[in-house]
Amino acid sequence: MNEENGGINPDLLPPLVSPPEMLAAWLRKRGAWEGKAIDAVKQNPLESLATLLIGSSVLFFAVESPVNPKVKTFWDALYYISTCASVGYSDIFARTDAGKAISSLVMTFGPALCAQVFDRPADQQPAPAPPSEWQAVIERLDAILAELRQLRQG
């Protein structure tokens, strides 16, 4: 037993990784989560925005409330995070590195989610109508198709 480390064998501990290294590793594995995230947002933008706001608020409250006198309740955290996702103005500021990282994430993805919040889920989107200038092309293609069918039969 190692008395210097409180009885913990240092060989069993994972190596310390800096935040930039953690971010780089996360981005290298992007293929595993990126498609799922995009599908979730397209399927239900309102639910995705609510998840981002509430989840980020919980995390922000957890890391900021012990050190930030302006974050006394979950509602303070939600107020700050919701402004990060929209206008970006608040009288609360992140004081911890983790709080700043959470805020940056919300500031990056929040406005895009807010812009899509009232879109219909992807499976309920109406099929777009072809532009009016395509009508002549469609009629010509239908005529060609009819001629090809006649040639095949005749």
For each of the domains in the chain, give its residue range(s) and CATH number, in order of start. Answer: 32-120 (1.10.287.70)
- Nearest to residue 41, comparing CAs of 104, 106, 117, 105? 117
Positive/negative CA dihedral, 23, 29, 34, 40 = negative
The per-residue pLDDT for range 12-66, each reduced to its tens digit, is: 666 677 777 877 887 788 777 778 877 877 778 888 889 999 999 999 999 999 9
pLDDT value at residue 121: 63
The per-residue pLDDT for range 58-104, each reduced to its tens digit, is: 999 999 999 999 999 999 999 999 999 988 778 899 999 999 999 99
Helices 74-85 and 45-64 pack at an angle, to 10 degrees, of 130
- Nearest to residue 58, comparing CAs of 47, 50, 48? 50
E strands of 17-134, at which residues? none
pLDDT of 147 strictly over 70:
yes
The pTM for the full model equals 0.61
The per-residue pLDDT for range 102-142, each reduced to its tens digit, is: 999 999 988 888 888 777 666 666 777 777 778 888 888 99
pLDDT value at residue 3: 54
pLDDT value at residue 83: 93
CA distances from 131 to 9, 134, 136, 137, 138 (A): 69, 6, 10, 11, 11
